[in-house]
């Protein structure tokens, strides 16, 4: 989760200095969605290595620095967590198929998809792509603390019960020395009885060169319109968020997996916003940095976009919308040249003349006293299940607020017709003992996925991944 490879600039404070000493390096949080740590102290040259995690020896102090002050967000409803799956490494998604089997499919970043049903998590994977992935957690630059690559997304065709088709996003190796890997979106077919996916049935839809091991995003989901939506990060080049002609990065794409347009292995919906205009026709919305997690709640596409300098944000994404990156971060002006965000008179239009759309909510990395609030927003969904206290609230979270503890935060927000959505922090009975990686729903219950291993202890080397069901 690296929000960036530069130092952050936020107001200094004693507790933050202790926190950074505990961290040992600038940006060491790095996990999947993109988040790093830093301060004005670092910009002045007295801390960190200017990279994005992975180096340093822990500094000279404060190994017990609190993850946060715990009082930034207003307290929200109290919930409990029921563990329903353990023994995973890094669970990155929980999705369902419309086949009437009451199964949940859990994606593990290291390359496997498991079935969870009434008997629990099955030991044999539904799909195993470990031999097609990059070596997750290996051969990384020393400024990357946690590998963002791997098996990142899964979506079942709306007619899966009839055609057996499903789709995955994953990171594949490359022989090109100029690249780190390739990002693939592929179609697979399940066995006739739907019990297993057939790895030999792969049909590659997108095969994109990726120069760095960061900012892939990865969520894929079918919308109410039957089209497949795919999130792509900016690849650690912020200007990709506004470049609609030369690449597909920093965007949400929309394609028709049942059609064909020209030589493409998929179709382009006729009402995609750039059809007949300048830019790649696959783009649906753009101006995003690292939309690690997104999901539909009814007709609304809710996207958590991981921040760089100071702010995390969630957007309600619409066709043709420009969400501002790298010209804005949250509601604030962003300078892509130096990587800082601050208040002031911001750019309100892109070079194309599009209005830049503000998010529906934001939160900072640090509070006014210098305590960490949280790094890397993890997008979720509107809860419609049996937990009455969460009903019709947007359930989402914070990846972590600590390097040395598993310190995710479970958040809720009430959707508004206009203006910002107020944020509260759910009170978890017994505490929340994970870094949050993803949320999921099976149409009834809501789930939160994560790892109990702190970043300092290398989560990808453990089997501390867990799936919790939210309960009253």
* Cross-strand bridge partners of residue 342: 333
Residue 417 near residue 427, CB atoms below 8 Å = no
- β-strands 423-428, 74-88: how paired? parallel
HEC assignment per residue over 414-450: CCCCCCCCCEEEEEECCCCCCEEEEEEECCCCEEEEE
Residue 317 near residue 217, CB atoms below 8 Å = no
CA distances from 323 to 70, 134, 168, 246, 291 (A): 30, 31, 26, 19, 11
Distance CA 437, CA 424 (A): 19
* Average pLDDT of the residues in 369-386: 96
Confidence of residue 68 (pLDDT cuts 50, 70, 90): low
Report angle CA 23, 68, 337 to the nearest 5 degrees. Answer: 60
**Where do we find the tokens 């019709």?**
392
* pLDDT score at 38: 40
* Average pLDDT of the residues in 102-125: 97
Residue 252 near residue 288, CB atoms below 8 Å = yes
Going by C-beta distance under 8 Å and a sequence separation of 6 or more, which residues neighbour residue 409? Answer: 68, 73, 374, 397, 398, 401, 425, 432, 436
* Average pLDDT of the residues in 319-344: 95
Instruction: Dump pLDDT digits (tens) for 345-363.
Output: 899 999 999 999 999 999 9
Instruction: Evaluate if residue 88 carries a pLDDT over 70.
Output: yes
Instruction: Dump pLDDT digits (tens) for 157-169.
Output: 999 999 999 999 9
Percent of residues, the chain, with pLDDT higher than 70: 85
14-471 belongs to which homologous superfamily?
TolB, C-terminal domain (2.120.10.30)
Q: State the sign of the Cα–Cα–Cα–Cα dihedral 325, 71, 52, 448.
A: negative
Please, what is the average pLDDT of the chain? Answer: 87
Least confident of 24-33, 353-362, 462-471: 24-33
* pLDDT score at 34: 44
* pLDDT score at 344: 87
Distance CA 347, CA 67 (A): 34
Instruction: Compute φ and ψ for 44, nearest 5 degrees.
Output: -80, -10
Distance CA 202, CA 184 (A): 11
* pLDDT score at 156: 98
């Amino acid at each position: 989760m690296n929000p960036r490879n530069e130092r952050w600039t936020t107001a200094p404070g004693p507790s933050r200095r202790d926190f950074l000493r505990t961290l040992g390096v600038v940006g060491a949080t790095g996990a999947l969605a993109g988040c790093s740590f830093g301060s004005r102290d670092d910009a002045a040259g007295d801390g960190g290595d200017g990279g994005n995690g992975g180096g340093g020896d822990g500094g000279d102090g404060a190994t017990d620095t609190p993850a946060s002050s715990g009082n930034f967000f207003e307290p929200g409803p109290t919930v409990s967590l029921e563990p329903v799956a353990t023994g995973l490494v890094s669970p990155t998604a929980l999705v369902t198929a419309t086949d009437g089997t009451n199964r949940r499919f859990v994606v593990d970043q290291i390359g496997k998809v498991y079935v969870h049903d009434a008997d629990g998590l099955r030991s044999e994977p539904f799909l195993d792509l470990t031999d097609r992935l990059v070596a997750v957690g290996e051969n990384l630059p020393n400024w990357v603390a946690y590998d963002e690559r791997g098996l990142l997304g899964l979506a079942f065709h709306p007619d899966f019960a009839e055609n057996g088709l499903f789709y995955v996003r994953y990171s594949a190796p490359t022989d090109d020395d100029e690249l780190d890997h390739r990002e693939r979106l592929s179609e697979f077919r399940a066995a006739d009885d739907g019990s297993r996916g057939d790895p030999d049935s792969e049909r590659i839809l997108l095969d994109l060169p990726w120069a760095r091991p960061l900012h892939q995003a990865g969520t894929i989901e079918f919308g109410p319109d039957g089209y497949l939506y795919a999130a792509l990060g900016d690849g650690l080049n912020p200007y990709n968020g506004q470049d609609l002609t030369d690449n597909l990065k920093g965007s949400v794409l929309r394609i028709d997996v049942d059609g064909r347009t020209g030589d493409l292995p998929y179709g382009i919906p006729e009402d995609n916003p750039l059809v007949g205009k300048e830019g790649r026709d696959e783009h649906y919305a753009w101006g995003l940095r690292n939309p690690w997690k997104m999901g539909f709640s009814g007709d609304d596409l809710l996207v958590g976009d991981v921040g760089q300098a100071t702010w995390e944000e969630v957007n309600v994404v619409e066709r043709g919308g420009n969400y501002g990156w790298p010209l804005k971060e949250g509601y604030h002006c962003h300078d892509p040249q130096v990587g800082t965000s601050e208040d002031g008179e911001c750019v309100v239009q892109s070079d194309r003349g599009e209005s830049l759309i503000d998010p529906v909510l934001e939160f900072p990395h640090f509070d006014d006293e210098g305590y960490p609030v949280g790094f890397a927003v993890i997008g979720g969904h509107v809860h419609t299940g049996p937990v009455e206290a969460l009903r019709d609230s947007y359930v989402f979270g914070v990846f972590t607020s600590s390097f040395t503890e598993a310190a995710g935060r479970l958040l809720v927000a009430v959707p508004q017709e206009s203006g910002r959505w107020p944020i509260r922090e759910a009170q978890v009975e017994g505490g929340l003992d994970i870094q949050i990686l993803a949320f999921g729903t099976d149409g009834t219950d809501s789930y939160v996925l994560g790892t109990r291993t702190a970043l300092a202890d290398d989560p990808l080397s453990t089997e501390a991944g867990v799936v919790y069901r939210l309960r009253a």
